[in-house]
Amino acid sequence: MSKTNTQYKIRKSESEWKNTLTAKEYYVLREKGTEPPFTGKYADHKHKGVYRCARCGNDLFSSKNKFDSGTGWPSFSAPIAKEKVELKPDMSRGMLRTEIRCSRCGGHLGHVFGDGPPPMGQRYCINSVALRFDQKQPPSAGKNR
């Protein structure tokens, strides 16, 4: 897991977030909700580019790491760079999972599971509503924008 960071770079009050996010975005990004499977606009998305945080614009995932997991949510084998996301234990819903948050604003993105493709074996299962797509070349993994 990546280092826990409670000092996010972007901070807003709850009313500020409510004014800048749609109701669905707020439900997922702030209240840790989940969109129903097979309903998100990026589940079957095949374009090349970068998936950014819908809350703050942080570059999170490259289309190069996107794969069809058959789960109904966009799935990635890894983030653009490990410091782009924060992983936290999540014991909600009676099970132990690993929550994924944006490292810049703390927005809830989804969960990571150990059933992804080789070589890493990770599946970053992300809510489409937590993402914005930018059809551009992804930055190299070593660069932090």
pLDDT per residue of the chain (145 residues) written in tens, 0 to 9: 444 445 578 888 889 989 999 999 999 999 999 999 999 999 999 999 999 999 999 999 999 999 999 999 999 999 999 999 999 999 988 889 999 999 999 999 999 999 999 989 999 999 999 999 999 765 555 444 4
pTM: 0.86
Q: Which residues pair with 62 in a beta bridge?
A: 50
CB atoms within 10 A of CB 82: 14
Spatial separation of the C-alpha atoms in residues 45 and 37, rounded to whole Å: 14
Question: Running DSSP on this structure, what letter comes out for residue 119?
Answer: T
- Residue 29 and residue 58: Cα distance in Å, rounded? 13
Catalytic position from the list 53, 56, 105, 125: 125
Spatial distance between the Cα atoms of 63 and 89, rounded to a whole number of angstroms:
26
For residues 99 and 32, the answer to whether their CB atoms sit within 8 Å is yes
| CATH class of segment(s) 14-134 | mainly beta
User: Is 125 assigned a catalytic role?
Assistant: yes
